[in-house]
Amino acid sequence: MSGRLVVIGLGPGNPDQVTPEASQAVAEASFFYGYKPYLDRLDLRPDQTRVASDNREEISRSNAALEMAASGHKVAVVSGGDPGVFAMAAAVCEAIEAGPREWRDIELSVVPGVTAMLAVAARVGAPLGHDFCAINLSDNLKPWDLIERRLIAVAEAGFVISLYNPISKARPWQLGSALETLRNHLPAATPVIFGRAAGRPDERIEVFSLAKADAAKADMATCVVIGSPETRLIERDGKRPLVYTPRFSAGATK
């Protein structure tokens, strides 16, 4: 008899941003699969088991979790942020599609979480107040030229852009290249937000113009939000400026 598999989003790292639904799902599961830093956020009981793996082992992790669920257990796959945004929900679905037929009979649910761009946006105002998109800068699963084409397309279309996985030791140049590409298609004054570890004790939130944005300000714990030509700053004495994108575009009718 098949068990159950739930993919849980733990949010950006602040315990207060873990949803009650996610906490309930953690309480009900017996086996937990995930990247070790995410599993370390959990306060598990003695009767609950964690199975940690490396960050790049999404499919093997999904396969192991599905095998355990197929044997009748209550299983959780854990993600940071939201599991459906560049995370484990898609990996589990890929594994189900490629796996044995009986995996399609497993009861599957996905518990959403606060994703990084929402946590960063909330710290500075409302940069996502109008149309926006999210782009993963990692070229592990797609070619860089495709990433560049998408950056150009959304910049020219006037979207606010949230960049996930902007930089790493293995990929030190992508964010700098992305910023240079965007400088050719956006005004120099466009606000750029570097949001590192939003909501956690080591949080660092900084706002620059696109002309002065430095890729060295980011690491893998950073979400970079790049405004549209309509994104504005509200300067405040002694405080970080508010960044927001008006709800109405130029020429729009109410």
* Token pair of 183 as six digits: 């400088």
Question: Alpha-carbon distance 174 to 248, whole Å?
Answer: 32
pLDDT in tens, the chain (254 residues): 678 999 999 999 999 999 999 999 999 999 999 999 999 999 999 999 999 998 889 999 999 999 999 999 999 999 999 999 999 999 999 999 999 999 999 999 999 999 999 999 999 999 999 999 999 999 999 999 999 999 999 999 999 999 999 998 888 999 999 999 999 999 999 999 999 999 999 999 999 999 999 999 999 899 999 999 999 999 999 999 999 999 998 755 54
pTM for the predicted model, two decimal places: 0.94
Kindly write down the DSSP assignment for every residue of 139-177, as one continuous string. -SSS-HHHHHHHHHHHHHHT-EEEEES---SS--SHHHH
Residues 1 and 71: beta-carbon distance below 8 Å? no
The amino acid at residue 111 is V
